[in-house]
Structure 1
Amino acid sequence: MMALRNMNGIENSQKDQALQDFINAPSNQNFGHEVVAMYLGCSPWTLARMRCEGSKLPYTKIGRRVAYKKCDVLEYEKSRTVTCTAQYS
């Protein structure tokens, strides 16, 4: 079984700092699934499922480490933005 860490045991100030680090980072910087999941408002398990199902969120995998480029995360978020529920399918 895969062990995915999340940021549940981390203090709110550390979570806020991780989000600020993500927001202030250059667009080509890589981030782990914990920070990306927190930014997108989902769990690391959701990201793992998305990787298995072939979602449009690109990632890099070297060995057991999974990383996401900030620019890819922002582009994915932008692609999921809709103006009405009829657009979401």
Structure 2
Amino acid sequence: IIKAADETNIIITCEEHQVGGFGNIVSGVIAQGKSYDTPLLMEMIGVEDRFGESGAPWELTKIFGLTAEHIAQRAKKLYRKSIDKEGISK
């Protein structure tokens, strides 16, 4: 995780439930081990402060923005943000 953060300066986590569990663990690992000479952009993708719904898994991933397409869009947006900021993208 730390190697990926150092090499890319971007970390994206994705979880099929409320944001925070896995993302918080990853951010904690990075905070303990990453050098702070360059900024790091981090995006935690997951269910945002909503009650659960019932449905087929493919329907729910679409409703909550967790499809591959949604994740790719957010990754591209974060990457564009990284190259817009001087000194972030390697």
Q: Decide: shared fold, TM above 0.5.
A: no
**Structure showing the higher strand proportion among its residues:** 2
Greater relative contact order structure (CA < 8 Å, 6+ sep): 2
Q: Normalising by structure 1, report the TM-score.
A: 0.29
Q: Normalising by structure 2, report the TM-score.
A: 0.28
